[in-house]
Amino acid sequence: MPPKNAKVAKKRKTSSSSSSNTQTTLDSFRRIGASPHKVSRDSNIQDNTKNHSAAVPMNIDHDASTLSTTQNATLGTFRRPSQLNKVLIRNFKELPAREIPNDYFEEMWENQRRLLLMIFHKEPIQMSLQLAYEACETICRYHKAEEVYRRLESELLVQIQVLATSLSEGLKTNKNEFISALNREWSELCSSLVLIRNIFMELDRRYLIRATEYSSIIDLGKQLFREHVMGFKTLQDQAIKDILALMKDDRDGKKIDKELIRSLITMLLELNMYTDDFEPAFLKSTRDYYQTEADRLLHELTIPDYLLHASQRYKEEGEERIQSYLEQTSKTRLLEAVKAQFVYVKIEQILEKGFDAMMDNVEKEPLHILYTSIVNDRGITHLRAAFSNYIKRRGTDLIRDPKQDARMITSLLGYKAKLDEIVRDCFNNDEMFLNALKESFEAFVNSRRAKPAELLAKFIDSKLRASSKQKNTDEDLEQLLDRLLIIFRYLQGKDAFEAFYKRFLSKRLLLSRSASNDLEKSVLAKLKTECGAGFTKNLEAMFKDIEVSGDLNSEFKSSAKYPHDLDMVFQVNVLAQGIWPTYSMCEFTLPPQMSQCQSAFEGFYPTKFTGRRLTWQNSLASCAVKAYFPLGTKDLTVSLLQTTVLLLFNDTDILSYMAIAQATNMEEKELKRTLQSLACGQHKLLLKDSDGSDVQMSDTFKYNSDFTATSIRLKINVLQQEQSGEERKATETKVLVDRQHQLEAAIVRVMKAKQKLNHTELMDALFSQVRFPLEATDIKKRIESLIDREYLGRDEENPSTYIYK
């Protein structure tokens, strides 16, 4: 039993049983159309569903209340036939096509036209909307859809042309109200088109979607409005001009109707006029506005305040205005336009006027704004160049003044930390700026050749030396060493650092001044990781010598050679000559006990090693001496030279310079340094009869019986243990000599492998092999030296080409 299908079939059959029923339907619509009874425009379009078998129109964009023209309608998209659900009715056969009489068609259309006029003129609707829909359905079924479309299009065109004329007249009389009138007419048109589409829904389905370029009657109305209203250049230009004027007021801080702008922007989007017609004018007005503002503020504000203001404008445009009334698709182009006027075109002025000050004061927020404003623009290269130049300029100021050498490494550490912070927080750790930091830092650090390497080695020495002033924990020192290693990486002359570090290390080891053996080994491990095992080979061997010497001393004390009758402890460090730094020999007469101990060790050493020769470096020896003063006993740490002088005063209280010189046989320079440290330093163990800090041959020295000090343990600074100018010069000379040998060896290696190279090729090969900075003149000198010694030769036809012999 097919209840539903049978009913449908029955209805179809009944409605098509005879032409008289069609006449009845037409008469019914005609009678209602002529009736004085009024139907409200807000009434439901389904008002007569109980008395009519026709389907109710589809409600696509809104509910029944949308039929009211008092609301702003929204234009939806009609679903095309391919998207509609299909309903299968069994045993259903479509009725044969029939023609509707022309007089009845004209009468029905006239009623539809009257309804259209009521809608457009905003008059009370005196017809049934349901019957109007059914009438359209009936007409379309009887092959009149094309004619209905043509007439409907004509009516819409007439009404829209009337609207255009009204707007044009209003523009002439009252420009100030034009934009509001345009928005009002557009809103009313939208509402009318929604109502008209619901009435003529069957026309949409049967004809308009399939036979025209429009997706719905609403789309048809929009296109007619675009062509015949906004298509007039006068109206279009005035609309865009008024919208832009309101936006300018908004940027100036004035209160505006943002809903009005939003509505008009929506209109332009619906008419497909936003991207091609509105947006170019909008972006141009934006550029003009902010160009004027940027020119003014660049002279009125400081650069940090200028950039902060620019950032505020970015936020206003990219967030507030986009959210309030602009289309999201415009956001990127809008921000680019604003940034272009504030930063892109002003980048050179910004950098020249305020970049250095922002860097000096670490103005993070303005710097970050500057970076983010141009990160995707070619202006980023200007910022990178300014950053690089700043690093070199300020860095050179830190290292070029010799008077500031004592603070150089501390200054470099602070400077590097500051730059790292700026790159991290302001430039987002951009690889471009990280590379600029590395290249620029390396450039200025090496502008004073070996000096930074020497001072870095000296700074590390000060941190690794045992001192009561050191308050840092091992963990703190490890972190500091990691930071110092970063400075070390920038040094091109790492061989110079090695030479100076070795000299300082030797004194820490020989004088037992190392604060921590673990820290010493940690530094070596870091250097080894950074530069390879070859770099730390000799440094590690120095520690090995100290360990072996400790075992050797234990054996010496247990042997028969050791002078057990002496009231002193004697300890020897045996060092390999090729590993340790070289020191100038200092000959003088040792105290008898010292001399006896040295002789005893010289007798013991051959029993352990044969074929080795010992050379005593007395200038590096140190002594722990107990001094008995009337005001208290003191434990002194002094050099062997100082000890030799002090022991002379065990037998007498006063000695002349000449008497001391005769008893010790020291060189004049060393004796004066030693006496100066004992009589003119912080702790005056001896008293000099003359004023001043210089020691003269005519001076007389006296034992200071009134000496006192708050500390029991005293370390007397000895000038010969501090690296003197001569030692520094000797170290630098050794570095240069070693570099010459390394350079010559590299030249020979390259030429032996290639046999024949021109000068440019040889230079390129050497720069890649040698780890210290090279000068073209140095290479030329070494090549000439090798040619003179016949390691190389010149090509007879091309003198700039070298041949390995």
Both tokens assigned to 536:
């730390």
Report which of 652, 644, 705 is spatially closest to residue 677, judged by C-alpha positions: 644
- In whole angstroms, give the CA distance from residue 454 to residue 441: 17
**Structural domain includes residue 89:** no
3-state secondary structure of 562: coil
- Shared domain check, 715 and 649: yes
**Structural domain includes residue 638:** yes
Report which of 267, 278, 264 is spatially closest to residue 333, judged by C-alpha positions: 278
- Shared domain check, 503 and 420: yes
Residue 76: which pLDDT band, with cuts at 50, 70 and 90? very low
- Shared domain check, 531 and 431: yes
Of 18 and 301, the structure prediction assigns the larger pLDDT to: 301
Own/partner long-range contacts of 57-63 (Cβ < 8 Å, ≥24 apart): 57/133, 57/198, 57/199, 57/201, 57/202, 58/198, 58/201, 59/198, 60/197, 61/194, 62/194
Strands 700-703 and 686-688: antiparallel
Q: Cβ(287)–Cβ(337) under 8 Å?
A: yes
pLDDT tens for 255-279 read: 999 999 999 999 999 999 999 999 9
Tell me what the mean pLDDT of segment 317-328 comes to. Answer: 92
Both tokens assigned to 267:
């209109």
Residue 4: which pLDDT band, with cuts at 50, 70 and 90? very low
Of 125 and 643, the structure prediction assigns the larger pLDDT to: 643
- Shared domain check, 174 and 266: no
Write the burial class of residue 552 (CB in 10 Å: 0-12 exposed, 13-18 middle, 19+ buried): buried
E strand or H helix that includes residue 702: strand 700-703
756 forms bridges with which residues in the sheet? 803
Helix %, strand %, coil % of the chain (to 5)? 65, 5, 30
- 383-392, 469-478, 559-568, 665-674 — which is least confidently predicted? 469-478
**Structural domain includes residue 235:** no
- Shared domain check, 40 and 188: yes
**Structural domain includes residue 2:** no
Both tokens assigned to 5:
């299908």
Reduced 3-state DSSP string for 626-660: EEEECCEEEEEEEEHHHHHHHHHCCCCCEEEHHHH
**Structural domain includes residue 83:** no
- In whole angstroms, give the CA distance from residue 303 to residue 343: 11
Q: What is the CATH number for 791?
A: 1.10.10.10
- Shared domain check, 393 and 331: no
Domain boundary among 608, 630, 659: 608
Q: What is the CATH number for 641?
A: 3.30.230.130
Q: Which residues contact 48 (CB under 8 A, 6 or more apart)?
A: 128, 130, 131
pLDDT tens for 381-394 read: 999 999 999 999 99
pLDDT of residue 724: 60
- Shared domain check, 212 and 250: no
Residue 470: which pLDDT band, with cuts at 50, 70 and 90? low
Q: Cβ(500)–Cβ(454) under 8 Å?
A: yes
Tell me what the mean pLDDT of segment 280-302 comes to. Answer: 96
The number of angstroms, rounded, from the C-alpha of 305 to the middle of its chain's C-alpha atoms is 21
Reduced 3-state DSSP string for 382-432: HHHHHHHHHHHHHHHHHHCCHHHHHHHHHHHHHHHHHHHHHHHHCCCCCHH
In single-letter form, the type of residue at position 302 comes to T
Reduced 3-state DSSP string for 478-536: HHHHHHHHHHHHHCCCHHHHHHHHHHHHHHHHHCCCECCHHHHHHHHHHHHHHHCHHHH
Instruction: With a cut of 80, say whether residue 765 has pLDDT above it.
Output: yes
pLDDT of residue 513: 84
Both tokens assigned to 625:
């001496």
Residue 467: which pLDDT band, with cuts at 50, 70 and 90? low
Measuring CA to CA, how many Å separate 221 from each of 119, 144, 196, 217, 226?
14, 21, 10, 6, 9
pLDDT of residue 55: 34
Q: How many CA atoms lie within 13 A of 295 on its CB side?
A: 6
- 101-110, 356-365, 402-411 — which is least confidently predicted? 101-110
- Shared domain check, 190 and 114: yes
Q: What is the CATH number for 335?
A: 1.20.1310.10
Tell me what the mean pLDDT of segment 330-351 comes to. Answer: 94
Domain boundary among 341, 363, 388: 341
Q: Cβ(145)–Cβ(138) under 8 Å?
A: no
- Shared domain check, 175 and 39: yes
pLDDT of residue 86: 52
Q: Which residues contact 604 (CB under 8 A, 6 or more apart)?
A: 556, 559, 561, 562
pTM, two decimals, is: 0.73
Q: Which residues contact 341 (CB under 8 A, 6 or more apart)?
A: 287, 290, 291, 293, 294
The chain-wide mean pLDDT, for the chain, equals: 83
Q: Which residues contact 32 (CB under 8 A, 6 or more apart)?
A: 127, 128, 131
Residue 33: which pLDDT band, with cuts at 50, 70 and 90? very low
- Shared domain check, 463 and 370: yes
Domain boundary among 537, 560, 582: 537
**Structural domain includes residue 562:** yes
| Phi, psi at 687, each rounded to 5° | -115, 135
pLDDT of residue 301: 95
- In whole angstroms, give the CA distance from residue 96 to residue 190: 38
Report which of 261, 147, 258 is spatially closest to residue 208, judged by C-alpha positions: 147
- Shared domain check, 374 and 337: no
Of 429 and 693, the structure prediction assigns the larger pLDDT to: 429
pLDDT tens for 214-240 read: 889 999 999 999 999 999 999 999 999
Instruction: With a cut of 70, say whether residue 1 has pLDDT above it.
Output: no
- 289-303, 540-554, 720-734, 741-755 — which is least confidently predicted? 720-734
Instruction: With a cut of 80, say whether residue 285 has pLDDT above it.
Output: yes
Q: How many CA atoms lie within 13 A of 533 on its CB side?
A: 0
Both tokens assigned to 178:
């034009």
- In whole angstroms, give the CA distance from residue 131 to residue 199: 9
Instruction: With a cut of 50, say whether residue 69 has pLDDT above it.
Output: no
- Shared domain check, 563 and 527: no
pLDDT of residue 718: 63
- CA angle at residue 620 from 615 to 624, to 5 degrees? 120
Q: How many domains does the chain have?
A: 6
- In whole angstroms, give the CA distance from residue 163 to residue 719: 104
**Structural domain includes residue 6:** no
Residue 58: which pLDDT band, with cuts at 50, 70 and 90? very low
Write the burial class of residue 712 (CB in 10 Å: 0-12 exposed, 13-18 middle, 19+ buried): exposed
Per DSSP, the residues of 92-128 read: --PPPP-PPPHHHHHHHHHHHHHHHHHHHHTPPP-S-
**Structural domain includes residue 82:** no
- As a dihedral over the C-alpha atoms of residue 166, residue 227, residue 216, residue 179, rounded to 10 degrees, the angle is -50
Q: Cβ(716)–Cβ(678) under 8 Å?
A: yes
Of 567 and 354, the structure prediction assigns the larger pLDDT to: 354
Range of the structural domain that residue 783 is part of: 726-804
